């Protein structure tokens, strides 16, 4: 009996379509959330996913990337030494994410303070670095990079009054995905500056959103694990979930950014957002693996 032959031009495996990401984020949008996503193939530079990627949404702690870039650039320029000791003061104190406020050490080297921001999105460390370099310098560096819709707007505050910026940071996923692609290629300021920023961010312990689909160890994923390598930064605030990162796999690599602004009225609403972000992660995993 003659065996049926496979069609001559059929691929060995179907090309990933990001259908799951479109459906999951689309359902959030139909439910009233604002969603935005962008994915860039690091090999071809093709934008393989684009969902309202030019709109500006709150990105919470994602904007701390811009601060780390300014700090890293100053280290590259030798404008400040990595071992310069910075002190935490009562004025810098703020709650929520981070470790330094729980530590006895009053002073840390500048590079260690930046490491805390990369690893735990440390709010106190963020404010200390901002006091050191200045928000105006971060804004100027952001403009030099050509980012028009992405900005770190303020220091971290426990409460925001009428005279404060309404958000810690804002951004478009098109610009944020481009920024991470540029970091991956060593093109943000220079190769050393880019590499140092990625080193700080490679310690990030928050894998609760898109990266929850990748199966890597939240506390130890600087190396290659089952062919995957991840660097990411997340942002969390009331009604805001945002993530930007680089994912490399056996087949290819991507730079990605996803942001959602939603009515955080119940745990069910929050879990729907996290499920959608995880669905985006599964599609990214399929694309690179």
Tokens in use for 7? 């069609």
**pLDDT score recorded for residue 285:** 97
The CA-to-CA distance between both ends of the chain, in Å, stands at 37
Greatest extent of the chain over all pairs of C-alpha atoms, in Å? 83
Tokens 């404008």, residue located: 79
Specify the pTM.
0.92
Closest CA to 228 of 287, 279, 280: 287
Tell me the Ramachandran region of residue 167: left when phi exceeds 0, alpha when psi lies from -120 to 50, beta otherwise: beta
Which alpha helices (H) appear in the chain, and where do they start and end?
19-30, 64-76, 110-120, 123-133, 135-144, 173-184, 191-201, 267-288
pLDDT averages per 10-residue partition of the chain, 289 residues = 44 71 96 98 96 97 98 92 90 90 95 97 97 96 97 93 92 98 97 98 97 96 95 97 98 98 97 98 97
Stated as kind and residue range, the H or E segment containing 51 is strand 47-51
DSSP 192-214: HHHHHHHHHHTT----SSGGGGS
Phi, psi of 52 (to 5 degrees): 45, 45
* Residue of 80, 106, 112, 108 whose CA lies nearest to 93: 106
């Amino acid at each position: 009996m003659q065996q049926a032959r496979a069609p001559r031009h059929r691929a060995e495996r179907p090309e990933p379509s990001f259908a799951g990401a479109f459906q999951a984020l689309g359902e959030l949008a139909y439910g009233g959330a604002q969603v935005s996503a962008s994915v860039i193939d690091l090999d071809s530079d093709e934008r393989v996913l684009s969902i309202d990627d030019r709109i500006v949404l709150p990105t919470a702690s994602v904007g701390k990337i811009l601060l780390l870039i300014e700090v890293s650039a100053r280290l590259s320029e030798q404008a400040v030494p990595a071992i310069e000791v910075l002190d935490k003061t009562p004025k810098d104190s703020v709650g929520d994410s981070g470790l330094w406020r729980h530590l006895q050490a009053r002073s840390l080297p500048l590079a260690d303070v930046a490491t805390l921001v990369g690893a735990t999105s440390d709010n106190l460390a963020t404010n200390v670095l901002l006091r050191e370099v200045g928000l105006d310098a971060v804004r100027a560096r952001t403009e030099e990079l050509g980012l028009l819709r992405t900005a770190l707007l303020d220091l971290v505050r426990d409460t925001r009054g009428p005279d404060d910026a309404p958000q810690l940071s804002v951004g478009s996923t098109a610009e944020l995905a481009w920024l991470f692609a540029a970091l991956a290629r060593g093109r943000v300021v220079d190769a050393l500056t880019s590499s140092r920023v990625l080193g700080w961010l490679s310690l990030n312990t928050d894998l609760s959103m898109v990266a929850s689909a990748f199966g890597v160890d939240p506390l130890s994923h600087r190396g290659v694990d089952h062919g995957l390598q991840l660097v990411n930064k997340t942002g969390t605030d009331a009604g805001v979930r945002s993530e930007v990162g680089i994912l490399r796999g056996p087949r290819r690599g991507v730079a990605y950014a996803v942001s959602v602004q939603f009515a955080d009225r119940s745990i069910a609403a929050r879990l729907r957002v996290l499920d959608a972000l995880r669905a985006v992660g599964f599609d990214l995993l399929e694309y690179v693996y």
